[in-house]
């Protein structure tokens, strides 16, 4: 079978650089959630990534896991001490089995955490070996917890807040789509770059209704420093897919405007990335953003994060 | 000896940017293993890189090393306590030497792990100094273990799964080589870039049969987001070394198609890299990849990792 | 409302790549402080970033926080032991309540730090459970502290020292603005890049007095290695906003010259960034920088950091 | 003082991108040491960078510092316990002051390392407070040590071995300067890039004898993978400063050829950089490098690191 035989098949990919393909059409209401994630679930042989989960779960759930593990592993050791024989733990005061197991649990905790008061202590080879294992497991668990704590903290989830709304608003002698963002934290983000894309469901050149993608030019797509808020401005020229569209058009086209920013976090010395997206009902018309900052002579400039979504009527 | 004297020697390197040189010919069956590694072994004065090995070994082996070290170092301290004199550990119950050494071992464990029940405790300067050293070595070992745990976990081995097969399949009005990949994990990989190369053993312009290298153009070589699967498509045009080749040709030429991808892991904030390669018998003809995802209205899109290698007959 | 209606509005941003916008005018005396920070304060719903604060605070404050936390948490546990009943801690010698609470505090410290002498030890289920929690909280606190210590140390605050003064000094057949910098540490900084910008308040093309920005060309804007000092030279050509300006002009224009450098820290394997700025009164005229280094045959070249600001009269 | 007045001054920097300047002439025998460092020492107000030193010192010295600190801090606490009164440590067996201080030292060690046997234990508020501080300082010291261990290990000192010699050897129809390198470790280095520069002391266009710099073109300056050795080849064309130079010329010119490579370490997910330099006496003439690898069918290719400097006579 030589490669010379030609055959016409439709291209399965003519979009620019998003990784969604063109087969997802009207049934997908939005690609990027407001939190920057995707509405996609993976199944099949994913393997089991315990560390990934332990790093990414919420703090509440993380502490629940830590406490559950702590109780569970010490209960296990209490049972193992029970198997070896509770009489091999000297210093017990309980006579009942249940009370003895409770004391064995506390003895295990004292060994696992390396507190070792010594009132309870192992007697004989079996109990001593089990106690040694208990202490080793405790130390290793703790080493693991230290790594997890650090990993959880060191993940610089970029705290860039994006405006919940985008605006179609005048710009120069035409119109523009605008949204804005601000760094919520005091760390310095530098060398910020932004890209804006639009996706909509429309009829392509081949007459098939499918998802389209296009980049949107920005008036300014990079800033060196990011001390205040940053407003991204897409001038709606004749080349823009938004040219001469009405609010109803945008909703009919199932429009989603995607914003991707990246930069460098000087505090954590790492690249950071963030995303936002705007669908039809999140786009306001006929207003402009109000300034977010105020200055007083001799005082630091104040950037008020609560004004991120604040707009004002257009000047007449 | 001036540099002006010219002399014709063969160039020892005219390949593009792989680091293998051209001297490896037919005797090398493939350059990149299916796991992305190389079939290369280094010898000579490599030095001894304990940390490298401890970070890269399997978890099973790592835990064996940890337990062996734990037992070994405490046995060593037990012997040292024996040299100082077992009567310098108060609270011993054994009368035999072996039993005493066992107790000394457990005492060392209690000191090394800083449990310190206190029933066993050192008496006199020598035993106290040895116990102090035992505790210090224990703490340092534990500090080391913590670092190792963290290093092992923080290594973001990119879990990009590559299809086990590549396809020669129709594309537009011609043919293409295609393979696909998917991120097995839920972390966000962004700004993905891919390169494809081919290497084969053939007769060069100078009539010598040796290894050749060539880049393969891709229809789309970068995507901003990587939420679903990504199919790499090399259109087989007249410029491609694969032009008009049959399956037999590819096997005769000892063809290996190399794929290298890189991107940025938003979860671990690090660059990631992965590789795959396809030799003749891993290339299928006359089929195309089946979609890996399914959508239901109002539900998350499902990407089924188990369908990575699933193909279907070409439409008639 | 279609987008076709055109309307003239002034552009709210025509500056190059600094993120300050043009609305901050005379009331801002300088953009970048001498320590590289901004005179900007954020308010509104910032959330609470404890980790960020703990990593960035001074060492003195950090140790105060550590000691306060240590005392506070153990006082809390002392009170909880008091609630359970001080008679559930065996080995107490105090008869008074206050003395008992003090002993409970020390018992908590012994448990929290896992010292566990054992003279004081819990008796009964309630006290044992509380002691277990005490030990767990202690270990977790310590895991956290380890991560914090590491984060604080691993932040490679680039120790690039910038000259406190900039010079307007002859260069080739004209003038130049010059400043210089040196790496205070012994780590190797490589692939250094520098940019220089100037901002001033002036009357724009539209007749409005507002803040202007302009890049300043550099004679040499990157070096591969940074072993000694580096002098940045902006030749003042006709294209420069500094062309034919006097010292008084610069002060009247509220001029601030910004320097941004970045590079790669070979010791910590991370990108580093640093900034400096020069306002009118920090610019000297009619002098040139003195060499910072001296060489003696057979000796290492000496770079004297204390000479960073040293100038000498121009040669006649 | 306006900037218009022009005045001829010599440019103090017209070199390409090394950061050494042109003022260092004959008195500097070589810029880059064989270990990649510089023969430069800094003095003046460097501040005191304890962490930097603790991370970069040798392991032997590091362990000496750890042990000295351990002994020193516990001696200090022993003295403080002596001030509080040795009778406030219960369980002491010594009657002499010196013996008591020794026991106080061991008690401090038991507290500092959180072993806490309990035979020795504090009595009274003062001793208890001191013991609490001892335990806290111990834990903090240990947190610090953990961070230091990790920092020391995580520094991926790129183990790229450079040939100790460079060759002037035939290449194509002319000559070339060649050196080679190999990754000593098994980690994967990818996307390697190399630059070669030459510096010599010569008479410039202005008739002044001073240090000159020039880039040297490479036949191949980047490779995607680095599984074997990599030979850098600078073809000596008419544009090269090495054109028609003899071995004596090179030594007279005080020639130093600098090689800088960078790449990405897939194992540690970090950029790596390395350097080498070759002065006149390290350059061999009339030989070529012998292959470093050998292949056997069905066996891994062997790269023999000990052959890095092995050369063989030119073929006749």
Rounded to the nearest angstrom, the minimum Cα separation between C286 and chain A is 32
> Where residue B110 falls among pLDDT bands split at 50, 70, 90?
very high
**Using 50, 70 and 90 to split pLDDT, how confident is the model at D80?**
very high
Q: Read off the pLDDT of each residue in A82-110 and give the average, rounded to a whole number.
A: 91
Would you call C117 and B117 a contact, using CB atoms and an 8 Å cutoff? no
H or E element: which one contains D73?
A: helix D59-84
Give the per-residue pLDDT at D7: 34
Question: CB–CB of C306 and D44 under 8 A?
Answer: yes
Identify whether the C-beta of residue A189 lies closer than 8 Å to the C-beta of residue A266: yes
| Residue A84 confidence (pLDDT) above 60 | yes
pLDDT the model gives residue D202: 80
**Cβ within 8 Å of residue C232, ≥6 positions away:** C178, C179, C180, C181, C194, C196, C218, C220, C221, C259
Please give the Cα distance from D143 to D138 (Å, whole number). 9
Q: What is the pLDDT of residue D95?
A: 77
Contact at CB, A6 and B297, closer than 8 angstroms: no
Q: Which of C99, C117, C263 should one mutate to test binding to chain D, selecting the residue with the greatest count of D CBs within 10 A? A: C117
Q: What is the pLDDT of residues D131-150, one digit of tens each?
A: 999 999 999 999 989 888 88
Say yes or no for a CB contact (<8 Å) between C269 and D155. Answer: yes
Chain B nearest-CA residue for D289: B12
DSSP-derived 3-state class of residue D27: coil
Give the torsion through C-alpha atoms of A267, A270, A271, A274, to 10 deg.
-60
| Closest residue in B to C119 (Cα–Cα) | B118
Among D122, D126, D148, residue whose Cα is nearest residue D55: D148
Residue D17 has a pLDDT of 57
CB-CB neighbors (< 8 A) of A140 in chain B: 66, 145, 149
Q: Which pLDDT does position A131 carry in this prediction?
A: 95
Least trusted range by pLDDT, from A117-121, B23-27, D312-316: B23-27
Express each pLDDT in D252-277 by its tens digit. Answer: 888 999 999 999 887 777 788 888 99
Q: Please give the average per-residue pLDDT across B294-313, as a whole number.
A: 85
Q: Give the model's confidence band at B2: pLDDT under 50 very low, under 70 low, under 90 confident, else very high.
A: very low
Q: Which two tokens mark A124?
A: 């004989």
pLDDT-derived band at A15, boundaries 50, 70, 90: very low
pLDDT cut 70: percent of chain A above it: 86
- Residue B47 is nearest to which of D113, D184, D307, comparing CB atoms? D184
Q: What is the mean pLDDT of chain A?
A: 84
Give the pLDDT of residue C56: 79
Higher pLDDT, B34 or D262: D262
Percentage with pLDDT > 90 across chain B? 46
Which tens digit of pLDDT belongs to each residue from D100-120? 999 999 999 999 999 999 999
CB–CB contact A51 B301 (8 Å): no
Q: How far is CA D245 from CA C94, D240, D285, in A?
A: 92, 10, 12
DSSP at B60: H
Do residue B114 and residue C118 have CB atoms under 8 angstroms apart? no
Q: Quick one: pLDDT at residue B94?
A: 78
Helix (H), strand (E) counts: chain B: 5, 17
- pLDDT at residue A261 above 50? yes
Alpha-carbon distance A96 to A102, whole Å? 10
Contact A135 B117 (CB under 8 A): no
Confidence of residue B11 (pLDDT cuts 50, 70, 90): very low
Q: How confident is the model at residue B162 (pLDDT cuts 50, 70, 90)?
A: very high
Give me the residues paired with residue B278 across strands: B257
pLDDT more than 70, % of chain B: 86
Chain B residue at shortest CA distance from D151: B147
Find the length of chain D: 316
Comparing C-alpha atoms, which of B213, B254, B240 is closest to residue B16?
B213
Choose the closest CB to D271 out of C187, C264, C304: C264
pLDDT at residue number A151: 79
Q: What is the DSSP string of B237-303?
A: -TTSTTTT--HHHHHHTT-EEEEEEEEEETTTTEEEEEEEEEEGGGEEESEEEPP-EE--TTSPEEE
The answer to whether the CB of D292 falls within 8 A of the CB of D303 is yes
Inter-chain residue contact B117 with C118, CB threshold 8 Å: yes
Residues in chain C closer than 8 A to B146 (CB atoms)? 146
Q: Output B281 or A187, whichever has higher pLDDT.
A: B281
In angstroms, the CA C85 to CA C79 distance is: 10
Task: Report the neighbours of B using a cutoff of 3 or more CB pairs below 8 angstroms.
Answer: A, C, D
Q: What is the mean pLDDT of residues B21-26?
A: 58
Euclidean distance between CA atoms C277 and C275, whole angstroms: 7
User: How many Å apart are CA C23 and CA A294, to the nearest integer?
Assistant: 10
B91 φ, ψ (degrees, to nearest 5): 95, 5
Tell the residue number behind the tokens 């351990």, with chain if given.
Answer: D70
* Angle between helical axes of D59-84 and D125-154 (0-180°, round to 10): 170
CA-nearest of C61, C27, C25 to C201 is C25
For residue B201, the cross-strand partners are B211
Contacts of C113 in chain D (CB under 8 A): 114, 132, 135-136, 138-139
The number of C-beta contacts closer than 8 angstroms across C and D is 207
pLDDT higher than threshold 70 for residue D2: no
Report whether pLDDT(B316) > 70. Answer: no
Token pair, residue D236, equals 């000596």
Which pLDDT score, from 0 to 100, does residue A200 have? 87
Q: Which residue of C has its CA nearest to D122?
A: C117
Q: Are C213 and C16 in contact (CB under 8 A)?
A: yes
Please state the separation of Cα B12 from the chain's center in Å.
Answer: 30
Q: What is the mean pLDDT of residues A265-294?
A: 87
Mean pLDDT of A258-282: 86
B42-56, B126-140, B270-284, C263-277: which is most confident = B126-140
Which pair of structure tokens corresponds to residue C229?
A: 């000092």
Instruction: Give the pLDDT of residue A8.
Output: 31
- CB contacts < 8 Å between A and D, how many? 6
Residues (pLDDT < 50) of chain C are: 1-16
How far is the alpha carbon of D56 from chain A, nearest alpha carbon, in Å? 20
* Nearest beta carbon to residue D114 from set A114, A117, A118: A114
pLDDT in tens, A30-61: 777 777 777 777 776 555 567 778 887 888 99
In order of their start, the domains of chain B are: 50-154 (1.10.287.70), 160-313 (2.60.40.1400)
Q: What is the DSSP letter of B6?
A: -
D150/B147 touch (CB, cutoff 8 Å), yes or no = yes
Q: Which of C111, C118, C270 to mutate to test the interface with B (most CBs of B within 10 A)?
A: C118
pLDDT band, very low/low/confident/very high, at D295 (cuts 50, 70, 90): confident
Task: Report the chain D residue with the minimal C-alpha distance to residue B273.
Answer: D266
More confident residue, B269 or D316: B269
Which of C299, C294, C290, C292 has its CA nearest to residue C182? C292
pTM above 0.90, yes or no: no
Asked if residues B302 and B275 have their Cβ atoms less than 8 Å apart, the reply is no
Q: How many CA atoms lie within 13 A of A111 on its CB side?
A: 31
D1 pLDDT above the threshold of 50: no
The mean pLDDT of A284-290, rounded to a whole number, is: 93
Q: Read off the pLDDT of residues B112-145 as tens digits, 9 standing for 90 and up.
A: 999 999 999 999 999 999 999 999 999 999 998 9
Query: What token pair was written down for D86?
Result: 């040795």
Interface confidence, given as ipTM, is 0.75
Token digits of residue C26: 């005379």
Question: Is the Cβ pair A19, B225 closer than 8 Å?
Answer: yes
Of the candidates B227, B180, B301, the one whose C-alpha atom is nearest the C-alpha of residue A18 is: B227
Instruction: Determine, for residues C3 and A247 on separate chains, whether the beta-carbon distance falls below 8 Å.
Output: no
Mean pLDDT to the nearest integer, A100-109: 95
pLDDT tens digits for range A177-228: 999 999 887 778 888 999 999 988 887 777 777 778 888 999 989 888 888 8
The pLDDT score that the predictor gives to residue D39 is: 72
């Amino acid at each position: 079978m030589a490669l010379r035989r030609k055959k016409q098949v439709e291209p399965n990919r003519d979009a620019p650089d998003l990784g969604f393909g063109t087969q997802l059409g009207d049934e997908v209401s939005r690609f990027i959630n407001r939190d920057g994630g995707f509405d996609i679930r993976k199944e099949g042989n994913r393997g089991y990534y315990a560390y990934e989960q332990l790093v990414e779960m919420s703090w509440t759930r993380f502490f629940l896991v830590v406490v559950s593990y702590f109780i569970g592993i010490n209960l296990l050791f209490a049972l193992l001490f029970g198997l070896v024989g509770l009489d091999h733990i000297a210093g017990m005061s309980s006579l009942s089995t249940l009370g003895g197991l409770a004391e064995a649990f506390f003895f295990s905790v004292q060994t696992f955490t390396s507190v070792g008061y010594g009132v309870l202590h192992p007697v004989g080879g079996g109990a001593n070996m089990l106690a040694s294992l208990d202490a080793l497991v405790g130390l290793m668990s703790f080493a693991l917890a230290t790594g997890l704590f650090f990993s959880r903290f060191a993940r610089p989830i970029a705290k860039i807040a994006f405006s919940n709304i985008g605006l179609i608003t005048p710009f120069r002698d035409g119109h523009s789509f605008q949204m804005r963002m601000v760094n919520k934290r005091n760390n310095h983000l530098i060398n910020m770059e932004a890209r804006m894309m639009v996706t909509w469901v429309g009829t392509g050149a081949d007459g098939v209704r499918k998802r389209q993608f296009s980049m949107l030019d920005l008036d300014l797509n990079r800033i060196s420093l990011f001390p205040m808020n940053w407003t991204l401005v897409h001038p709606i020229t004749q080349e823009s897919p938004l040219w001469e569209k009405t609010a109803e058009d945008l909703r009919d086209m199932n429009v989603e405007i995607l914003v991707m920013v990246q930069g460098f976090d000087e505090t954590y010395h790492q690249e950071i990335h963030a995303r936002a997206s705007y669908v039809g009902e999140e786009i306001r018309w006929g207003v402009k953003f109000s300034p977010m900052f105020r200055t007083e002579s001799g005082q630091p400039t104040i950037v008020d994060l609560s004004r991120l979504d604040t707009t004002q009527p257009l000047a007449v």
